[in-house]
């Protein structure tokens, strides 16, 4: 049995004159494994970290909420869970100073792993707990609080939908009662990793899909209406290379969606990828940084005054150890720095702070002062308003290798037939139209339809929809793994 003495948390403050933007670095944990997957500055200017601990609690790992003061010194910590695996992946503080926590659990619920939501008071005491899912494996990785005070959680499900794993999005009220559930995906692996609210209160969701686009995996961005209907879905990546999207955020000042992720290089190592999209799904900016080892981005934080930071992990020897926090800041010029000890660190989340700085978290194996190997502990670093060192960075801008086809479907709503126009530098006789319902089920496919060529880059066709019931659908038009376009269809009867 785990002994309560392991609840003693230790905090190591490490100040560095070489990294002027670092205000403090703290490590928290016991004699086993601790990870921090989410961090938020709290109303009292302290910080809340959500993650997992194996040092204390009831099971193999328990969800762990750690509350600190403004210097990262622990005020209190609470564990949540049962006898097996319970992990918190995301947290938000509510106006009453309580918290909503999301993650996954296989200690209780419907069987296998379940998506897991908890609400606590301001001291971390549980007000309610909800499990969502099936007897198979179901996960929540992120959530947001809507302007109308609901919870929208995203992740993946093996028990619903059609494929290996399907993207999963669940909306609840503030009591954790389900308002609606949607899945999206095809025959292969599909998963959501991040969600944010846009300026018009709709949702953008990031993740990875192997069902559409490159079967090795493409970064995936989906735009949802507030009722869960899909507005559009966009894949991006390099052909025959895996690509993944993780965290995302809305840049309020220009209504751009910023996505953090990774792409595989020609030698198989991961390269970090940062992309921005407009609200119609068009890529407005792509930057890839290629070093000789694995590097990737996990999380984005945007200041309302402008500028943003992206955090991830580098295993290239640009930091102080084997794996370091890698922070990029952009207001007008890109800057970067690394944070860590001489041992391994990985970063999972970043948040803005009210002094126009940032707070980031992950795990560290650098809590020992000797050469002994140590287990991962929660890691927290406070970064000032400069956001990074004064090292300017020239990122390598790479256009989206998959390209994009502009498409238009009309009339809307339609009945038995819909007109589709496609614009792009493409061979139209190689295009395939596929139509999916809102659960992601393929309901109609037409390869090489009869295109009326209007110009070398513009063509039109008519698609029969008489076999489909009334409802909302979205379609993709794809040219192998090279170019794709998406759109929405509404049918009435």
pLDDT tens for 362-396 read 999 986 544 555 789 999 999 987 765 444 444 44
Q: What is the pLDDT of residue 384?
A: 85
**Mean pLDDT calculated for residue range 303-324:** 81
State pLDDT tens for residues 315-361.
886 666 678 888 887 755 677 788 888 888 999 999 999 998 999 99
Assess whether the region 10-397 and the region 406-491 belong to the same CATH fold.
no
Q: What is the pLDDT of residue 317?
A: 67
Whole-angstrom Cα distance, residue 470 to residue 391?
Answer: 56
**Mean pLDDT calculated for residue range 226-237:** 89
Domain boundaries, the chain: 10-397, 406-491
Domain 406-491, architecture per CATH = Sandwich (2.60)
* CB neighbour class for 378 (10 Å; exposed up to 12, middle 13-18, buried from 19): buried
> 420 and 380 in contact (C-beta within 8 Å)?
no
State pLDDT tens for residues 93-127.
999 999 999 999 999 999 999 999 999 999 999 99
State pLDDT tens for residues 122-142.
999 999 999 999 999 999 999
Q: What is the pLDDT of residue 481?
A: 53
Please give the CATH superfamily to which domain 10-397 belongs. YVTN repeat-like/Quinoprotein amine dehydrogenase (2.130.10.10)
Q: Quick check: pTM over 0.85?
A: no
């Amino acid at each position: 049995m785990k002994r309560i003495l392991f609840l003693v948390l230790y905090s190591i403050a490490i100040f560095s004159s070489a990294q002027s933007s670092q205000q403090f670095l703290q490590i928290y944990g016991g004699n086993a494994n601790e990870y921090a997957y989410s961090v938020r500055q709290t109303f009292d200017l302290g910080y809340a970290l959500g993650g997992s601990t194996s040092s204390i609690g009831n099971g193999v790992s328990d969800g762990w909420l750690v509350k600190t003061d403004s210097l990262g010194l622990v005020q209190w910590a609470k564990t949540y869970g049962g006898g097996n695996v319970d992990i918190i992946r995301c947290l938000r503080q509510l106006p009453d100073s309580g918290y909503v926590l999301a993650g996954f659990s296989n200690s209780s619920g419907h069987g296998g792993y379940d998506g897991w939501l908890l609400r606590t008071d301001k001291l971390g005491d549980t007000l309610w707990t909800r499990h969502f899912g099936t007897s198979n494996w179901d996960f929540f990785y992120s959530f947001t609080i809507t302007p109308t005070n609901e919870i929208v959680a995203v992740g993946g499900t093996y028990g619903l939908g059609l494929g290996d794993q399907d993207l999963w999005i669940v909306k609840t009220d503030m009591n954790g009662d389900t308002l609606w559930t949607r899945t999206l995906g095809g025959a292969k692996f599909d998963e959501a990793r991040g969600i944010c609210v846009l300026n018009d209160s709709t949702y953008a969701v990031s993740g990875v899909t192997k069902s559409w686009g490159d079967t090795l995996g493409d970064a995936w961005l989906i735009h949802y209406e507030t009722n869960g209907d899909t507005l559009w879905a966009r894949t991006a990546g390099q052909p025959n290379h895996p690509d993944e999207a993780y965290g995302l955020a809305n840049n309020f000042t220009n209504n751009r969606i910023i996505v953090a992720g990774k792409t595989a290089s020609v030698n198989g190592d991961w390269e970090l990828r940062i992309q921005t999209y407009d609200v119609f799904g068009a890529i407005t900016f792509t930057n890839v940084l290629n070093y000789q080892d694995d590097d990737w981005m996990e999380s984005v934080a945007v200041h309302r005054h402008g500028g943003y930071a992206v955090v991830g992990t580098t295993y290239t020897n640009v930091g102080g150890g084997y794996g370091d926090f890698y922070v990029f800041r952009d207001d007008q010029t890109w800057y970067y720095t690394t944070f860590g000890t001489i041992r391994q660190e990985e970063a999972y989340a970043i948040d803005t702070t009210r002094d126009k700085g940032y707070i980031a978290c992950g795990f560290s194996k650098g809590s020992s002062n000797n050469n002994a190997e140590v287990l991962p502990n929660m890691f927290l670093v406070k970064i000032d308003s400069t956001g990074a060192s004064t090292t300017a960075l020239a990122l390598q801008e790479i256009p989206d290798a998959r390209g994009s086809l502009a498409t238009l479907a009309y009339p809307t709503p339609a009945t038995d037939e819909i007109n589709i126009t496609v614009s792009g530098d493409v061979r139209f006789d190689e295009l395939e139209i596929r139509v999916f319902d809102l659960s992601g089920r393929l309901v109609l496919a037409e390869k090489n339809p009869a295109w009326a060529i209007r110009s070398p880059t513009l063509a039109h066709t008519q698609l029969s929809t008489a076999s489909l019931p009334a409802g909302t659908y979205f379609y993709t038009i794809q040219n192998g793994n090279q170019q794709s376009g998406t759109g929405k269809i509404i049918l009435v009867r």
